[in-house]
Structure 1
């Protein structure tokens, strides 16, 4: 399980598709064009963050729930 989670507020979504363009392994669109989160999201967190930051209506939110240990330690 990744150390992050993403949410879609479909009431704010305009269906522009920017999320699916930036992170196609994590977002798709339904028949109405609204954002749908893939389960599980398959893109790296930075790619998902780009999609979240690019959403023109702020319909996406990203929460970092666990900070992974990286090469800076040890």
Structure 2
């Protein structure tokens, strides 16, 4: 079984750059206010989802493993 992640977007921080939706359009959507949200709160671990989180200019995206809640992004030691 592959690893799964819990995806959150802090909408109070999101500036609507659209980077996440451009990199992983199946995983992120922009609403009419240009605020990002995950298409699904849980997703398979995937490079583009991580790249989308890393590319967010305000680090509004948090990824955690579903099994133990460990931080994927941003890393806890950052």
TM-score (norm 1): 0.76
Structure 1 segments unaligned to the other structure (5+ residues) = 67-74
| Pair 1:65-2:66 in alignment | yes
After superposing the two structures, state which structure 1 stretch, 3-12 or 37-46, moved more.
37-46
Aligned to 1:29: 30
Aligned to 1:3: 4
Distance of 2:24 and 2:3 partners within structure 1: 16
TM-score (norm 2): 0.72
Structure 2 segments unaligned to the other structure (5+ residues) = 68-78
Aligned to 1:53: 54
Distance of 1:3 and 1:13 partners within structure 2: 23
Displacement of 1:42 after TM fit? 6.3
More strand as a share of residues: 2
Distance of 1:8 and 1:21 partners within structure 2: 15
Aligned length: 66
Displacement of 1:6 after TM fit? 1.0
Distance of 2:44 and 2:28 partners within structure 1: 9
